[in-house]
Chain A
């Protein structure tokens, strides 16, 4: 199985900050990676797919990069509605694994 390791697991930041979350895969997955945002009590919401493609309707302050085993999600200027937990997911092979999550909280 492909393991995904997210870092950090917890992040404290202020509105307007630039934030970067890393996802490392245990083996190469090409660009088969997606990023999701989840708020408490809500279903996950797709932000980025195929590592760097912004899902329709997602603000342009979100961006993704990487391929192979190293991936990043960047929020260029953190907004109040962005405080949530972020997950990466690989879609290269089964089982479709998720990273452990990164909780972004208000400093």
Chain B
């Protein structure tokens, strides 16, 4: 069955970095784009970034552009989100999701919590 498992979250001080991972299984990983979506405590969903199936195309939300970098290792079926210059506004539960082209995010992981605090 399709599974996405996020890891790498934790508590980090403002200005520091963190790298999240999204390990995929149960489907042909190289056929799908993968997105990151975050949810601040008690708030709605915010799209963060996407990487295409071949890793060549990436898009970012304005709120993270220049600070976050999305990448993937198709040999490990894993997508990464490198987060630099973190601020308290980045505190959220971070989900990765598999994308069906122009139609939906059909599978989501359980999320990994990032807390930015001094």
A residues apposed to B, CB below 8 Å = 1, 32, 34, 36, 38, 43-46, 49-50, 53, 55, 87, 89, 91-92, 94-101
Which of B45, B46, B102, B111 is packed against the most chain A CB atoms within 10 Å?
Answer: B45
Closest 10 CB pairs of A and B: A49-B104, A43-B108, A34-B104, A98-B45, A96-B47, A94-B59, A49-B103, A101-B44, A91-B102, A95-B61
Interface residues of B (CB under 8 A from A): 35, 37, 44-47, 50, 59, 61-62, 95, 100, 102-106, 108-111
Q: Provide the main secondary structure of the chain B interface.
A: strand
CB within 8 Å: A-B pair count:
61
**Chain B hits for A91, CB < 8 A:** 102-104
In the complex, given contacts A38-B45, A92-B102, A95-B47, what are 14 additional A-B residue pairs having Cβ atoms less than 8 angstroms apart? Answer: A32-B102, A43-B95, A43-B109, A46-B104, A46-B106, A49-B106, A50-B104, A53-B103, A89-B47, A89-B105, A98-B46, A98-B47, A101-B44, A101-B45
